Structure 1
């Protein structure tokens, strides 16, 4: 079975010694190579509300830009471009949630250790299923 697992299941699957060793390995990975540890973060997506509002701002900026070209007002064109840039920045910056495997909705990204543990458990279960053929 693929999907997101409860961290309590992970705790039951590993002995206390194994849990401590895994936590030490995670801490060591974060210390030695933070970029690699960050790459293990779950997939992210922009919230729908931010996306819709950002696209609206971009379209408004584009309208100002077109009006500036129509009336030959370069200062208005610069303002339109800045509004478009602001809309793009608003859309793709700010709070981002992780994609939940069960619901597909956005949730605030929580403890990176929990998501790392979840992926490790998924890999462990896949290996066990392949060996048990």
Structure 2
């Protein structure tokens, strides 16, 4: 059942208000081209894994080692294809943690406190007890 004109206007007003209040959340909730591309990559990768598995089974059942090895390579390539980010996206943009060799961005906010973990917990406990 389609929305009436009044309901469509209300929906557009709510979308504009959301975009004005929290643009980061609004952009995350919008359907993006990146999401469709990632879904398509995943589906192609799954199809390649299935084709590779079929080739592997056929190669093993007919004792043709080259066909089984090719099936394994197709499965491996499909897995890599499905879980690797598309060109032009970085790990941070794709929602993945940065790689181990990448330099960390500088820390912002509170400076790191000295002392061991237990010492800091004891200090926090003492501060809380002093407030009551």
The structure, 1 or 2, with the larger RCO (C-alpha pairs under 8 Å, 6+ apart) is 1
Could you say which TM-score interval applies, normalised by the shorter chain?
0.3 to 0.5
Structure label with greater radius of gyration: 2
Higher share of residues assigned strand: 1
The two structures have a TM-score, normalised by structure 2, of 0.39
Normalised by the size of structure 1, how large is the TM-score?
A: 0.39
